[in-house]
Amino acid sequence: MVLKEEVFRIKNLMGIILENDELNSSSDFFFTRKKETNDYITFENIDRPFNGKIGEKVTLINEKNPDEKYEFTYGVDIMQSTFRKNEAYIKKVKTTNTNTTNFIQNSNFVRDAIEKAFPKGEYDWQEETDEYTKGLRGVYPLSKDDDWSVLNFFDTNPHRKKSLYDLFQNSKESNQKEWLINFFKGDSQELKDLVNKQRNAILKSDKSEVDAMSLITNNYYLNDKKGVRVDRHGGIDGIDNNTDKTYQIKNVESVTENVDTSTGEIYWEVKGKYSRLKDYRLKTNLDNLAYYIPEQKTVYVFGNQNYKVVSTDLAYHYEEPKIYK
C-alpha cells in the first residue's frame, strides 16, 4: 500500500477523515522524485494536479520517505509547473556576498540612509498618506513640475544600488551606513551622475507608458505624479478607462514565441536589458503586464498569471498575449 493510502486508512480509523474526497482537498501533496538544476528545484510525480490559491500554505511529502517534508506558500515560493500538472517548482535563492547584502538586497538600508542624510525638520518629507508613500521632496527633484526626489528611487533600483556598492568599495571606508549617509549629503559628481541616470530612466519610462497605453486604448489614465501608493505598492502604472483594466508597463528588448521541445508546449520569452522584470501575481488589483518594445512601437499584453520570472531581464509567459501595434 502506498504511503498516501496508508495515511488515509489510519486517519479513517481515527475518525479524522470520513470521505475519500477530503484527501483531495488537503494541502498535503506527495511526490516521488526531486530534481535540481542551477536555478530550480522541481518536485516530480505529485500524486494529484498541483495547484492552489495564491498565499495558501502547502506541504510536499516524499512518498518514499515521509520524514522528508517541505512547507511552502503557493504563489510566493512555489508554483505549479506549466509543462506538467503533476509537478511543482521552486526558484533557488541565489547566495549573495554578505558584504553586499545591505546595498543590494536591503531596500530599507538605502531608504534609511537617505532619511538620515536629509532629516525631517531640516528637509521636506512627504509622510505616508492614503495617496502617497513616504519620501523626500525638493532634493534632486524629478522636474520643475514634480519635486519628488530622484533619490527615492534608489532603494528599489538594483543598478543604482550596485553602483553605490562599487563606489563604497573604492572608498576603502569600513562603515557602510556612515559612508552612504555622507555620500548622499556630499553633492559629489558621482552622486550627480547617478541622479541623472535615474532621472533619465524615469523620464524614458514615463514616455514609454504614454506610448504603450496609447496603443492599447484611446481612453486611459496614467499617474502623473511620483510617489503615489497605487504605483509604488500596487504595481499599477496605467488604467484603461473603457474597461477599468490595470496595467504594469515595462520596456523590453524582445518578446519571442517559442516551443518547448520536450513537451511541444508554446511559451513566450520576454527579454529586456535593465527591464527590472518582477513577479506581480500577489498584486491582486493588477490585471495585466504590458511589455513595450520602443523600436517596434509594439505592446505585448499578458494577464498577471501563469508566468515565471527567471531574472530581472528574463521571464516566461505561458498564455498567448494580445498584441497592439
- 180-211 pLDDT, tens digit each: 999 999 989 999 999 999 999 999 889 999 99
| Phi-psi map region of 75: left, alpha, beta (phi>0 left; psi -120 to 50 alpha) | left
Which parts of the chain have pLDDT scores under 70?
1-26, 93-105
Report the alpha-carbon angle 51-56-60, nearest 5.
60
pLDDT at 24: 42
Any idea of the CA torsion for 296, 310, 176, 194, to the nearest 10 degrees?
0
Question: Measured between alpha carbons, how far is 198 from 155 in angstroms, rounded to an integer?
Answer: 12
14-35 in b/e burial notation, b at 16+ Cβ within 10 A? eeebeeeeebeeeeebbbeeee
Tell me the pLDDT tens digit for each residue of 300-325: 999 999 898 888 889 999 999 999 99
Separation in Å, CA 94 to CA 35, 70, 74, 88: 17, 19, 20, 19
| pLDDT at 61 (0 to 100) | 92
pTM for the structure as a whole: 0.68
Q: What is the CA radius of gyration of the chain?
A: 24
What secondary structure letter does DSSP report for 99? G
What is d(CA 165, CA 159) in angstroms, rounded to the nearest whole number? Answer: 10
CB 252 within 8 A of CB 270: yes
pLDDT at 230: 75
Asked whether the beta carbons of 62 and 32 are under 8 A apart, the reply is yes
Pick from 294, 254, 258: nearest CA to 277: 254
